[in-house]
A and B are shown apart, each in its own frame.
Chain A
Amino acid sequence: MGTSQREKDTNIKNKKTEDDFVVVDNLVKHFPVRGGILKRVVDWVQAVDGVSFTVKKGETLGLVGESGCGKTTVGMTMLRLLDPTSGSVKIDGTNIYDLDRKGLKAMRRKAQLIFQDPYASLNPRKPIGDSIMDGLEIHKIGKAKERRDVMVDLLQKVGMQEYHAHRYPHEFSGGQRQRIGIARALALKPEFIVCDEPVSALDVSIQSQVLNLLQDLQEEFNLTYLFVAHNLSVIEHISDRVAVMYLGKIVELAPCDDLFIKPLHYYTQALMSAIPVADPEAKIERIILEGEVPTPINPPSGCRFHPRCTAATEKCKLEVPPLIEYRPEHWSACWHVEL
């Protein structure tokens, strides 16, 4: 699994501009698979394999794909909750993999995470007010009284009340817990937030409350989001630009409107047509994909989508398609793009 096999998506790197707040360059994360008595490494899960993109200040980049495509690993590795196999991530100009402990701690004030499962991501033995103040205490921000004021202020920002601060997580519904998770992420006044499936565990009527809240907060604090989700309708709603992942690679990257009007990659097209649309009059030409997502341990050669693709040719089996800009800002990694 040497670097020589890995084609480099260098063309994106050259497009870097001044207002790029986050720059991810050729990020690779492979997990070892151990086996045998000696627990030797027998294989590698290629969870993320050469992913490059940028997120502009104040923008929402949607990262969409099915289970196992590596979208969550990208989010985790970008915040250095996982160490990368190779590649670099620059947040506000600093390569976060070069930072020492102290530098990393300072970086965490800038970049935060909202988790998918609001039931598992809050400490059940801590009143939620304390959970929200944790970050402030770790970074020694303000006196106890000031920290409390910040916490109460945050609770109100996310639509909750001061008296909720003394309660424990089990006393809240899923939607309320997700609001608490958001308040906690905001406590350190971050500039960049990775939202990892923040609404997928919620009921639809609650989902829209949380989505609207995230949009309001973005406007108020000029936040930059990486929004990871599997639901294309949610992604379309919230994103400015969208990256579509399949088996560890970005197959398409485009401004939201452009992507949904004219998806270039066959996988994106199939993904979009697979969504049941809440409109009984809608006439959808459904592309039903054959088979299932292969394992990322030994992903297919060439274009990783070729075994399920209707347009696959010999070339797709042999050569990895590079991510190329076919239309302004609209990139696709496919040998058979029809414009």
Chain B
Amino acid sequence: MKKNEDKAVLEVSNLRTYFHTEDGVVKAVDGLDFHVNAGEIVGLVGESGCGKTVTSLSIIGLIASPGKVQGTIKFEGKNMLNLSTNEISEIRGNYMSMIFQQPQSSLNPVLTVGEQITEVLHIHKDIKKDEAWDEAIEMLRLVGIPAPEKKVHAYPHEMSGGQAQRVMIAMALILKPTLLIADEPTTALDVTIQAQILDLMRGLNKKMNTAVILITHDLGVIADMVSWVAVMYAGKIVEQTSIKALFAEPLHPYTQGLIGSIPILGHKKKRLDVIPGVVPNLVNLPPGCAFASRCDQKIEVCDQKMPDLIKLKPGHEVRCWLYQK
């Protein structure tokens, strides 16, 4: 397996993000271990409430009170959780950046896109105004905005969703970060525009060798984009492996259910598989496996103890009692 820890840009171990609310402690992310190698695209997949977005916000240091982040997030050798606010600001935008699901609402409506892109340059680099402006135009051209020297003066509302997402990508990548976190970057877009954006991200990943954490609920996007994938359920990774192994041989009953429950173009079947029930409430989870109540392969121990994430074979880890001795 090409999962080689030596060139990892990001190593997350035992990441726990808890929110202390009036109803109790919400363990949004509970003991996450994964790493991302330089230039690699890693996928985090799961349904709403599984903790994938909280994971990304924890990595980039955007969790606010009442949230608490524990564990280690090692980015290029430094633990992000021990850094001061200034040090994190230095990393953010410069070495690590993020794009969000709703590009239109992530951009400042009262500034032109040029002003927003050059702001990144002025914060992190000692650069003259017109040089910054030229760089912004160049970056807009790279992300495929037509007539960038005009569009650089446009306001976000003058752009379509696809163009706004391109601007977000331009802003995120202008300082050539080593890691880009993309949180559902194409969910709000139409399919033909989604194809354009995914194509752009794939191209830029190759060209700039930026590692990407791609967060999505869409298994199609995952299969299309990533080389390594972690499936999350109720704040934990339940399975992680190479993308080929995940689809060829899904081990966890949740992954199996997930793959069976989506209609796949060109593989028409009479009925879809169903995962019964709903995602459990993250406050006061029962002691056993969080998926046990919805699992059709449940055994006695599942209700009593949470299984560990074990390496079943090289490059394939799963958290399920069916595979533990």
Task: Give A257-293 as 1s and 0s: 1 = Cβ < 8 Å from B's Cβ atoms.
Answer: 1001000000000111111111111100010110011
Known: A205-B257, A288-B195. A281 touches B262 (CB 8 A): no
Known: A260-B265, A281-B247. A204 touches B217 (CB 8 A): yes
- Interchain CA distance A232-B263 in the complex, whole Å: 9
B48 in contact (CB, < 8 A): yes
Q: Is the CB of B193 within 8 A of A292?
A: yes
Shortest B184–chain A CB gap in Å is 13
Residue of B nearest to A234 (CB): B263
Q: Is the CB of B196 within 8 A of A288?
A: yes
Chain B residues within 8 Å of A206, by CB: 278
Binds A, one of B26-34, B124-132, B267-275: B267-275
Residue of B nearest to A213 (CB): B274
Known: A67-B190, A292-B160. A276 touches B243 (CB 8 A): no
Residue of A nearest to B244 (CB): A280
A: number of interface residues (CB 8 Å)? 42
- Interchain CA distance A277-B191 in the complex, whole Å: 12
Q: Is the CB of A286 within 8 A of B263?
A: no
Chain B residues within 8 Å of A286, by CB: 195, 199
Shortest A290–chain B CB gap in Å is 9
Residue of B nearest to A290 (CB): B196
A212 in contact (CB, < 8 A): yes
Known: A278-B219, A289-B196. A236 touches B265 (CB 8 A): yes
Chain B 217-236 interface residues, beta-carbon cutoff 8 Å to A: 217-225
B138 in contact (CB, < 8 A): no
A41 in contact (CB, < 8 A): no
Shortest A247–chain B CB gap in Å is 13
Q: Is the CB of A205 within 8 A of B261?
A: yes
Chain A 204-244 interface residues, beta-carbon cutoff 8 Å to B: 204-209, 211-212, 215, 230, 232-234, 236-237
A173 in contact (CB, < 8 A): yes
Chain A residues within 8 Å of B162, by CB: 292
- Interchain CA distance A33-B76 in the complex, whole Å: 55
Chain A residues within 8 Å of B268, by CB: 236-237, 256-257, 260
Q: Is the CB of B265 within 8 A of A232?
A: yes
B101 in contact (CB, < 8 A): no
Q: Is the CB of A280 within 8 A of B263?
A: no
Chain A residues within 8 Å of B81, by CB: none
Known: A205-B47, A292-B162. A280 touches B264 (CB 8 A): no
Residue of A nearest to B200 (CB): A288
Q: Is the CB of A204 within 8 A of B192?
A: no
Q: Is the CB of B192 within 8 A of A271?
A: yes
Chain B residues within 8 Å of A67, by CB: 190
Residue of A nearest to B216 (CB): A276
Chain B residues within 8 Å of A278, by CB: 219-220, 222-223, 247, 259, 262, 264
Q: Is the CB of B192 within 8 A of A289?
A: yes
Chain A residues within 8 Å of B217, by CB: 203-204
Q: Is the CB of B190 within 8 A of A288?
A: no
A175 in contact (CB, < 8 A): yes
Q: Is the CB of A281 within 8 A of B199?
A: no
Which of A67, A209, A212, A276 has most chain B Cβ within 10 Å?
A276
Shortest B210–chain A CB gap in Å is 20
A66 in contact (CB, < 8 A): yes
Chain A 90-127 interface residues, beta-carbon cutoff 8 Å to B: none
Chain B residues within 8 Å of A274, by CB: 191-192, 194-195
- Which of the residues B194, B261, B265 comes within 8 Å of A272, measured between beta carbons? B265
Chain B residues within 8 Å of A204, by CB: 47, 217, 219, 258, 261-262
- Which of the residues A212, A230, A277, A282 comes within 8 Å of B271, measured between beta carbons? A212
- Interchain CA distance A232-B162 in the complex, whole Å: 20
Shortest A252–chain B CB gap in Å is 15
Chain A residues within 8 Å of B273, by CB: 208
- Which of the residues B223, B261, B269, B276 comes within 8 Å of A207, measured between beta carbons? B261
Known: A205-B47, A215-B271, A233-B262. A280 touches B223 (CB 8 A): yes
- Which of the residues B193, B218, B264 comes within 8 Å of A279, measured between beta carbons? B264
Chain A residues within 8 Å of B278, by CB: 173, 175-176, 206
Chain B residues within 8 Å of A66, by CB: 190-192
Chain A residues within 8 Å of B196, by CB: 288-289
Chain A residues within 8 Å of B259, by CB: 278
Chain B residues within 8 Å of A272, by CB: 265
Chain A residues within 8 Å of B222, by CB: 278
A residues neighboring B (CB under 8 Å):
66-67, 173, 175-176, 203-209, 211-212, 215, 230, 232-234, 236-237, 256-257, 260, 270-282, 286, 288-289, 292-293
15 interchain pairs (CB within 8 A)?
A203-B217, A208-B272, A209-B276, A211-B272, A233-B262, A233-B263, A233-B264, A237-B268, A275-B191, A276-B218, A278-B220, A280-B244, A280-B246, A286-B199, A288-B196
B residues neighboring A (CB under 8 Å):
47-48, 160, 162-163, 190-196, 198-199, 217-225, 243-244, 246-248, 257-259, 261-269, 271-276, 278-279
Beyond A205-B47, A212-B272, A292-B193, 10 additional contacts (C-beta under 8 Å) are: A204-B47, A204-B261, A208-B272, A209-B276, A215-B271, A230-B191, A234-B263, A260-B266, A276-B198, A281-B244
Closest 4 CB pairs of A and B: A276-B220, A237-B263, A274-B195, A208-B261
